[in-house]
Structure 1
Amino acid sequence: MTLRVFFLWLLCAGLPSTAFAADLPITHQGVVLRIQGSNTIGAALGPALVEGLMREQGLLKVRREVSDQANELRVVGQTAEGQRAVVQIAAHGSSTGFTALKNATADLAASSRPVKDSEIAALQSLGDLKSAGAEQVIAIDGLAIILHPQNPLTQLDTEQLARIFSGEARTWEDVGGSGGTIHVYARDDQSGTFDTFKEIVLSRRGKTLSDAARRFESSEQLSDAVSRDPQGIGFIGLPYVRQAKALAITDGRSQAMLPHSSLIATEDYPLSRRLFLYLPPRGDNPWAQALVAFAQSSEGQAIVAANGFIAQTVQAMSVTPNALMPEAYQALSRHAQRLTVNFRFEEGSATLDNKARQDLSRVFDYLKQHDKTDRRVTLVGFGDAKSDPARADLLSKLRAMAVRRELVKSGVVFREIRGFGAEMPVATNNADDGRIKNRRVEVWVY
């Protein structure tokens, strides 16, 4: 078995990182890995994961060294013989990571948005970046909409956000608030955070960012600027709310949701997003492969949580029933707990997406550890609104059956499979990404 195949096997098997604590090679130049891309990942999470991997490898004196270039650093470790291992991290925005892969100046791309079709085509020579081994979801993040702490506004919908950030709504009074002229703050064009906001909020409505927006490469600087401006509003990754105030957000017919960890973990929160590492299938850097495997391990996910993002560790949570829920769903919430994971599907397909494939093993491990594999699990499917409600009901149950088929292979015996059709949407059905979010399967345990 080659080293590359070995690491990918470890990843698929879901083994802890201690299983790959074999020595990794260190070149005479000392640079063992180059990561470029997302500032959201590269500012803190990426370096922390690299440090964790280095310590797993038994390296000593693990530390960060600041570069002369803004938003760049090195993580350095040392062998017992004094040989340096250096990982270079440049965090200038998600698109720069894919450019660096194309130019062979990076081994891994860090991205806070999915790879674009144009990038997949441009990087064809490196293999399929949408394949299960290449596209690695390492964490879930939520884009928080932030205000000055004293701003009295408590919630906005995504339509209002589009009007604000495009410059159509110029005063707080235009969106039901108070305070006069709105000052808009945004990340720069290279940022995956901006790409995500643009895709979820602006482009969906045919709008573009206002020319008056104040732009920032740094998440921390943007957040601090908003928290000092009583008329300011901005968007930011969840760990960077800092001293600002986060708003509750609605999308379409969804309930208003604050960026709470459980709602982001399930990706129900309207502005939730996935954070990725992209590993070229035809790459041959064992450090890149080892970092991906470490990031997916329980130790790696603990580092994700420690850095303010949402780990993919499965937990059970209680759900308080309310009048907006169907009666059968209310009854379920009174007697069972929901797991903090939703299974979702590839666009236009009944095939589980790459994150869902990773989550199958996580869910099974949870069920086995908590003795829930024998008739103590209910799967609940949902769909997007269609002209024929009966069709939506059927498809929602078929999606739940698709998850059932996979978990049955591991020996799980289910209590019930339910479909709720297009009820309880978590996103608008007027856009493809909203419909994808609504096509989901929840896991409930007794």
Structure 2
Amino acid sequence: MSFLHFAKCAAFLLAASMASSLQAQDVALTSRDGSVSVSGNFLGFDGEFYRVDTEYGVLTLDGSGVNCDGPGCPDLNSFYPIIRFSGDGAVSASLLPALVSAFAARYGYNTEVSMTPTEYRVVLTDSVAGQPEAQIDFVHTSTEEGFADLVSENTDIVVSSREANTFEKELARIAGIGDLSDPVRARVMGLDAIVPIVSPSNPLSTISLENLEKLLTGTFQNWSEVGGQDAPVSLFLNEAIVESGSPLLELLPALTVESLATGATILPTAQAAVEAAEGDPYGFAFGRLSTVGKVKILGLTGECGFRTDVVSADVKTEDYPLTQPLFLYTPARRLPQIARDFLDYVLSPAAQIVVARSPFVDQSIEELTFRDHGRRFANAIRHAGEEIALDDLQAIVDGLYGARRLSLGFRFKGGTALLDAQSRSNVQLLARLVEAGVYDGKQLVFAGFSDGQGPAAANERLSERRAAAVRNSVLAALGEAADPELFQTVVRGFGEAMPLACDDVAWGRSLNRRVEIWVKDGFTDTLSRESSAP
């Protein structure tokens, strides 16, 4: 463990131990008849319920049944909730303010905005009376600091560009915040991606994963070693790029803070690294798709010849390996009603239109035609192994011809059968659309694929089981309003017959283990109606 990481961990633990004292103000809550009274440190009031840290633990009490006495008690005549977001600066400075503005317009609030370099504040007021209804503060920190603020009761919602890591989940559990691995605690509001970037004058257009790792570790220090011009590489990296939970570390598991090239310049933010590379003709950095500006984005290639470029559809399906879901993490406690309304809104189709108009990638579902996948089918034919026969390739064409692929990807955590965070969010997205009748009269084909490790027959069976598991998760997420007689689901397992990436590296195998959703018009009479049941 590096000294920097140790220091951050120590600060995190200190924050957790101080959680009950940072906002400590004594209050006493007494029942209306005076028969019951509790006292302790006031933690919050959402307009309906008090939260107090007492000798019995943290209690949540209905404000309508108690009288509050003490310096921490709110003025009920002028009360309005203050909702605090802390975390990823790029998201909290641009996307979230746009979403709050759209939310306010939709629900009839006026807005009063004030800004500082580190905070964006919006006061929502009643459009008729002009009285404040809520104050929303977006604090521009970082994902790591956002989780520290949550543990220390200094924020209500974390803005995160990655999943909570094991350490953060444990601290949250100790602090009574709840289980951050619970899907209910994390909402995916949009998507971003980490992209390798160079100066526009650099002649390269792609870089292999092997060469990428050698640049980052300093094994290669000249562009000519990766097919470029004879010039030294200037490496600019930001601190978060090798932080625990970063997609880059999952892509290149051998990469660590200690193995980074000694000549690399470490900068505090991704934007600073991008700007440094943009101003250096020999610069190399990782940026975020949402903030790359005028630099050149390199495509990623594998040793076996596959290539992937960053386009919105591939980010949505996770076919691009460095996709970054953007999360809102909430504690396992009651939030004010207006905060709950906003959290519901960010997942709505109306909110996704706002995301689509921003530099980030929205989660609205696209339908990709069979023709759009020409390169994928060409790769399937080109890289078919000895166990893949013409019949296997024809089975894919027969099963999917005339269908449209949805831009919803389903992938699994490494070494497990558990869906990753973006996939869990996609389950809910698809379930809501099915329940709304979007796919009435249509057939949803859950198509499973595997990597090429092991016998082809076993992989085909495994891919079918995974496809069935995703289908069952979607059906289980449907509300009572859904009528299973109005749509049809079909499960198919195609095994290793259509890889997206090289099987000789871990990240390629991870991309190949997936479930896709394809839509066909009409029902298939020859299929049993039992295929619509979980």
Task: Answer whether TM exceeds 0.5 for this pair.
Answer: yes
Are 1:147 and 2:221 counterparts?
A: no
Match of 1:259 among 277, 286, 310: 310
Name the SS for the 2:453 alignment partner: coil
Name the SS for the 2:145 alignment partner: helix
Match of 1:73 among 98, 120, 145: 120
- With over 3 angstroms needed to count, the CA separation of the structure-2 counterparts of 1:375 and 1:78, relative to structure 1, is closer
Residues in 2 aligned to 1:304 and 1:193: alpha-carbon distance in whole angstroms: 26
- Give the AA of the match of 2:101: E
Q: Which ranges of structure 1 fall in alignment gaps of 5 or more residues? A: 5-24
- In the alignment, which residue of structure 2 is the partner of 1:89? 138
Provide TM-score, normalisation by structure 1: 0.83
Contact 1:382 1:440 in 2 (8 A): yes
Residues in 1 aligned to 2:502 and 2:162: alpha-carbon distance in whole angstroms: 19
Contact 2:196 2:284 in 1 (8 A): yes
Are 1:445 and 2:519 counterparts?
A: yes
Match of 1:362 among 400, 420, 429: 429
- With over 3 angstroms needed to count, the CA separation of the structure-2 counterparts of 1:432 and 1:258, relative to structure 1, is closer
- With over 3 angstroms needed to count, the CA separation of the structure-2 counterparts of 1:88 and 1:228, relative to structure 1, is same
Contact 1:187 1:193 in 2 (8 A): no
- With over 3 angstroms needed to count, the CA separation of the structure-2 counterparts of 1:387 and 1:334, relative to structure 1, is closer
- In the alignment, which residue of structure 1 is the partner of 2:91? 41
Match of 2:461 among 370, 373, 394: 394
Are 1:292 and 2:359 counterparts?
A: no
- In the alignment, which residue of structure 2 is the partner of 1:100? 149
CA shift digits 1:151-190 (9 cap, x unpaired): 110111222222212222211111111140111122234x
State the shift of 1:40 in Å.
Answer: 3.3
Contact 1:66 1:72 in 2 (8 A): yes
- Give the AA of the match of 2:519: V
State the shift of 1:393 in Å.
Answer: 1.3
Are 1:114 and 2:163 counterparts?
A: yes
Superposed CA RMSD in Å reads: 3.3
State the shift of 1:398 in Å.
Answer: 0.8
Contact 2:380 2:499 in 1 (8 A): no
- With over 3 angstroms needed to count, the CA separation of the structure-2 counterparts of 1:425 and 1:3, relative to structure 1, is farther
State the shift of 1:415 in Å.
Answer: 6.7
State the shift of 1:206 in Å.
Answer: 5.1
Q: How many residues align?
A: 421
Are 1:323 and 2:372 counterparts?
A: no
More strand by share: 2
Identity across aligned pairs (percent)? 27
Match of 1:417 among 479, 486, 491: 491
Are 1:301 and 2:356 counterparts?
A: no
- In the alignment, which residue of structure 2 is the partner of 1:21? none
Contact 1:161 1:201 in 2 (8 A): no
Contact 2:242 2:248 in 1 (8 A): no
Q: Which ranges of structure 2 fall in alignment gaps of 5 or more residues? A: 1-45, 49-74, 382-392, 477-481, 521-534
Provide TM-score, normalisation by structure 2: 0.70
Contact 1:146 1:236 in 2 (8 A): yes
Contact 1:108 1:288 in 2 (8 A): no
State the shift of 1:133 in Å.
Answer: 1.0
Q: Which of 1 and 2 has greater Rg?
A: 2
- With over 3 angstroms needed to count, the CA separation of the structure-2 counterparts of 1:285 and 1:241, relative to structure 1, is same
Q: Which has the higher contact order (CA 8 A, sep 6+)?
A: 1
Q: Residues 129-168 of structure 1: matches in 2 within 5 Å?
A: 129-168=180-219
State the shift of 1:136 in Å.
Answer: 1.3
Residues in 1 aligned to 2:499 and 2:47: alpha-carbon distance in whole angstroms: 44
Contact 1:179 1:231 in 2 (8 A): no
Q: Residues 171-186 of structure 1: matches in 2 within 5 Å?
A: 171-186=222-237
